Amino acid sequence: MNQAKHIAIIMDGNGRWAKARGLKRTKGHEAGAQVIREISEFVAAQEEIDYLTLYAFSTENWKRPKTEVNYLMALLEKYLEDEKKTFLDNNIKFQAIGDRSAFSVALQKKISELETLTKDGTALTHSLALNYGGRDEIVRSVKRLIQADKNISEENIQASLDLPTDIDLLIRTGGDHRISNFLLWQASYAELFFTETLWPDFNDDEMKAILHSFSSIERRFGGVK
């Protein structure tokens, strides 16, 4: 039986969820933030799962309308403040991956403060991908190696990534069947699950069903069993 140590989720569908209800897109993002809390608490309670990585804001998301981007930045800052108790109560270590240099100084400070506050969490490492792109991550990794005068090898590239841990299970909500520049290196042998459920409607029961399906998959990693 397979056990997923590292789960990654592309949280898609907030805008469509809001539109279907005649609401502003911002309401979809608010509802999606609540689901992040619920899923994080559920996953932290599963002893076999060590890592949860969520795609929150991509390097391409800056192309969205400025008003929406500004709202997302404000929502992120609020999330980082509001979820301190959630992380501490559930023994969760928080970390951000991606190029945070594009964010305001105040937001960067909020990120660092939460990372420091939760650094001793052992139940789960919760990674939030912020201003993140898989290609950008690999390029930055190689640049780090060149600056450190290290060999360009698979082992060294992986070790210098924002997130050096391979993914077992990659889930995308919202109905699209693509990985959208998310964790390209780490997902090399991940099992992919796509659900029509929009992110604000995703819940523990669906997560349980996906984990159950994952447990019965024969994973060969290019070999033969």
Q: Which of 12, 50, 162, 168 is an active site residue? A: 12
DSSP code, position 102: G
Q: List CB contacts of 78: < 8 A, sequence separation 6 or more.
A: none
Neighbours of 100 (CB within 10 A): 15
Active-site residue (options: 2, 14, 50, 61): 61
Contacts of 144 (CB under 8 A, 6+ apart): 160
Nearest to 154 by CA among 180, 186, 190: 186
The side-by-side arrangement of strands in the sheet containing 51-58 is 92-97, 124-132, 51-58, 6-10, 169-172, 191-194
Q: How far apart are CA 23 and CA 221, in angstroms?
A: 44
Please, are residues 129 and 98 in contact by the beta-carbon 8 Å criterion?
yes
Question: Is 61 among the residues known to form the active site?
Answer: yes
Q: Measured between alpha carbons, how far is 126 from 207 in angstroms, rounded to an integer?
A: 16
Instruction: Give the catalytic positions in this structure.
Output: 12, 61
